[in-house]
Copies of this chain bind each other. A is one copy, B any other.
Amino acid sequence: MSSSTVKVFAPATIANLSVGYDVLGLALHQPGDEVILRKNKTGKVTISKISGDEGKLPYDPTKNTVSTVIIDYLKQRNLDFGVDIELNKKMPFGSGLGSSSASAVAGLVAINALADMPWEKKLLLPLAMEGERVACGIAHADNVAPSLLGGVTLIRSYHPLEVIKLPFPEHLHLGLVYPHVNIPTSQARRILPQKVTLKDASVQWGNLGGLVAGFCLKDVELIGNSMNDILIEPVRSLLIPYFDALKNIALHQGALNFGISGSGPTMFILTNDERTSSTIADQIQRYLKERNVNSNTYLSKINPEGALVLS
C-alpha cells in the first residue's frame, strides 16, 4: 500500500488494570486520537493543524510526540519523503487514558501505511515507546502496546521486549469516568512506594496470576475477584476525589470491579454489559456533579484490533 494521504485512529487505553502495574493494559474503541498525514517530496515533517488540545500541544515537530515518532521512523527506514501532520485529539490529556500513547501510535501507524513496504505492527512498538519517553520521560509500553496491538496486552518482559496478547471474554464492557481534576503522571508516580514487602508483593502476584488466568480462561468472575490492588490503588486513590464512595457505588450496582485507569484520575467500571456500565457511569457522574466536580464519561467494549487505518 502506498497512497499520498492516510487517516488513522489510535485508541485510548487502560493501563495497569489494578494489579498489573506497568505490565497489563487494554484498548478501548473510544475515545482516541485521529491523525491525517499528507505525503510530500520536501523531505520535511511539519504539523499544520492540531484540534481538540485546547491549544496545549506544540507545533514544533521536534517537540510533539506525534511528529517525533514519525521523524524516527523515517530515519530508521531511510525514507526520504516528508509529511504534513494533522492531529485531531479526541480525548483528554493527563486523564490516565494514554493520550500521548494514542498520538504516538496513530502517527506511527499512519507513516507506516505511507511507506512502500509497511512493517508488521509489532515492529512499531519500540518506536512508540520512544515517543512515550518524549512525552513522559520513561519509555513505558503499558499504554502503547494495547493502543497499537489492541485487546488485552501483557508486557512479559522489557529486556528483551516481549508482549503477549491475552484472550478475553468478548462481552466484557467498560464504563469510564474522567473527573476534571489534574494529576500529572509524574506526581502519580512520585507518591508510589519505592519498596513493598515480599508478603504484599506475593498477594499481588496471586491476583495478577488470577487476572491473567481469568482473561485466558474467559472467566469473568475470576477477572473481577482478581482486580484487587493492595499496593497502588490505596495510594493513588487519595488523589481522586470521592474515590472510595464511587467504588462503593460501582460495586453495589453490579460492576465486576472498579479501579483507576493508568495513573488516573479516570476510573474504569468493568461490567458484563453496556447497560450496567452506562447506569453506573451516569450515577457516578451525578454524584460528582452534586459535589461540584465535572466529568466526562465513555462507554466501550475491549477493542481487539487497536490502531486502525481508516482511509
Contacts and interface: CB of A to CB of B under 8 A. Distances in A.
How many monomers of this protein are in the complex? 2
B202 A21 contact: yes
A241 interface: no
Interface in A164-219: 164, 166-167, 192-198, 201-213, 216-217
A155 B206 contact: yes
Interface string A43-80: 00000000000000000000000000000000000000
Contacts of A192: 198
A241 to B, nearest CB: 25
A22 B197 CA distance: 14
Given A196-B201, A198-B196, A205-B208, A213 B21 contact: no
B202 A193 contact: no
Given A193-B198, A225-B162, A207 B21 contact: no
Given A198-B194, A222-B164, A210 B21 contact: no
A21 B222 CA distance: 20
A154 interface: yes
A216 B222 CA distance: 14
A154 B206 contact: yes
Given A194-B197, A210-B162, A202 B23 contact: yes
A197 B195 contact: yes
Interface string A154-166: 1111100010101
Contact of A24 (B22, B157, B166, B209): B209
A232 to B, nearest CB: 9
Contact of A207 (B22, B157, B210): B157
B20 A213 contact: no
Nearest to A23: B206
A206 to B, nearest CB: 4
B216 A164 contact: no
B206 A205 contact: no
A261 to B, nearest CB: 17
A301 to B, nearest CB: 21
A293 B196 CA distance: 38
A197 B22 CA distance: 14
22 contacts: A20-B209, A21-B205, A23-B202, A23-B206, A154-B209, A156-B206, A156-B207, A156-B210, A156-B213, A156-B225, A156-B226, A157-B207, A157-B228, A164-B209, A164-B210, A164-B222, A195-B197, A196-B196, A196-B198, A212-B212, A213-B216, A216-B216
